[in-house]
Amino acid sequence: LALWIACFLLTYTFPLLNAGLGAAGSFLLYGVICAAGYLYILRNVPETKGITLEALEEQLAQRHTGVNAAKQEQLMAEEWILENAHLRMCVSSLGGKVQSLFSRQYQAPVLYENPAGGMFPMLPLANRVAGNRFIFHGQEIILPRHHADEYFFLHGDGWLQRWDIIEYGAEYCVLQLRRQHACGFDYLAQLRYQLLRNQLIAELTLTHYGEVPALYGCGFHPFFPFDERSKVQFQVSGYW
């Protein structure tokens, strides 16, 4: 079939090319096409001489899965490096945290590096709730506890869980966490970190999947290095 198609194209195009380019130009064009085809075959088509069909199938499968394996290995890593001309950032799967953020321009860390990370997400709630419980729609909600605090569900537990990475590029990544709690929290959270010139853009999205409504309060907990040159600017609707 391929030979018939090639013969048809050659027979159909030669009179047109001969009229426009002349015999020499036509054969030169055909020669260039043949050379390009030769280079393509040399690079992309494996040698099949003396190779069994089973061995050829295995060879092609390895070539295909080799690319996928490299991508899969990248996605299964514990930490990922994002960088551009201005910033270099390390993101950890444990807690979905920004482990470090470094300014190339000033040759200094933007976030304070410590074991908890330079910045971590707070979910399904932030800070501490008095008595580790609250009333919602007339029902008392008793919050769980974790090993990081004896009395409170401190900053939730998203910062203590292992997140899955679902997208990854040179300057961005997207992480995901699925959690359920007996008190009513039942959610899917997504974190997106992106370096945009000299800015870090962090977005946290939470979708509730429970049958009854639940009250959430999310945010980020950054740690900043502090010295005589430090200056912080921000906009808030309130503070305490």
pLDDT tens digits along 124-173: 999 999 999 999 999 999 999 888 899 999 999 999 999 999 999 999 99
Interval 2-19: pLDDT, tens? 788 888 888 888 888 888
CA 70, 75, 78, 80 torsion-angle sign: positive
Two tokens, residue 189 = 């959270």
- pTM (2 decimals)? 0.67
Contact 82, 89 (CB under 8 A): yes
Q: Is 208 exposed, middle or buried (0-12, 13-18, 19+ CB in 10 A)?
A: middle
Residues 6+ apart with CB under 8 A from 96: 120, 121, 158, 159, 161, 163, 175, 177, 191
DSSP H helical ranges for 45-146: 53-75
* Of residues 225, 226, 196, 234, the one with CA closest to residue 109: 225
What parts of the chain have a pLDDT lower than 50? 67, 75
